[in-house]
Amino acid sequence: MNDFTNEFKQAKEAYNNTPIPSELPKRIQAGIREGKTGYRKRRNQRIRRFIAAAACFALMLTGLNLSLAIANAARVPVLGGLFQILTFVDYSKSEDGINYSISAPMVDASNSLAEKINTAIQEKLDRHLAKAKQDWDDYKNAFFATGGTEDEWADREMEVIIDYEIKSQTENQVSFMVSLSEGWVSSYEERYYYNLDFTKDRELTLQDLLGDDWITICNTAIQKQISESVDADGFTFFFSPDQGGFTTVDESTAFYIRGDNTVVVCFPKYSIAAGAAGNLEFVIQMPEN
């Protein structure tokens, strides 16, 4: 028997003969109970949050055979502890000629505002996906009804894109946009803006940000920028008021908040100008006192 074997044997005997303190089993059991209690509490909190969020987005996935990455914790950095914006649904998939590219946000906060916004986003996503599928089915039926062939149809595709963008964020507030688009023979895009104040558990309004004179402030700034768009030949993409052009902002006017706290008012494509002008944004500067 070599020296290493002797040393190992002696160490083993010493270990086996070491007396165990009488209080050790109680300490171990107490530690186990404490660990289990903490684990269960954290686990239950995560499960409740996940179930609530999953239920919120479940309808969006109905009828679509898509591989998903749900609650993938692709988190936008947060400066405070009142809320988080999560990329809750994130996937790309091609099915029946439709190419889906979807990145959907979820507001994670312990108040009624988060639930309200998540429900609103879910409803818009459900509606957008259902409309895209119906548009594609209608187009396919019309294509074959007018003499199209299988070979010709095989080259046709639709793009369905859902995405979002954080416009600004502080420890108490966030401003973000959700965009829903569809592209094939024709195309369109919808944009929805959310400006949330978590200290007051509410959505911010233009009046909150610009004061009681917010309509005049916005209208003056927008009219000025429309006038500046006219070129030397008198051409502008903007419609005149009698042609459906801009007249005034109101409570339904969309906007977001930039990182420097500047308000930007938004109008969809075709709403007050020719389509070539795209989605329209107007920077609203507070008047100098």
CB distance 159 to 183 below 8 Å = yes
Q: What is the reported pLDDT for 90?
A: 86
- Confidence at residue 78, expressed as pLDDT on a 0 to 100 scale: 44
- In this prediction, residue 20 carries a pLDDT of 52
Residue segments in the chain with a per-residue pLDDT below the cut of 70: 1-81, 287-289
Q: How much is the pLDDT for 254?
A: 98
Q: State residue 83's pLDDT score.
A: 86
Axis crossing angle, helix 24-58 with helix 112-145, rounded to the nearest 10: 40
What number of residues does the chain have?
289
pTM of the full predicted structure?
A: 0.74
pLDDT value, residue 89 = 83
Give pLDDT tens digits for 116-154. Answer: 999 999 999 999 999 999 999 999 999 999 999 999 998
Please give the pLDDT value at position 244. Answer: 93
CA distance 82 to 173: 9
**What's residue 27's pLDDT?**
55
Upper half-sphere CA count for residue 225 (Cβ side, 13 Å): 17
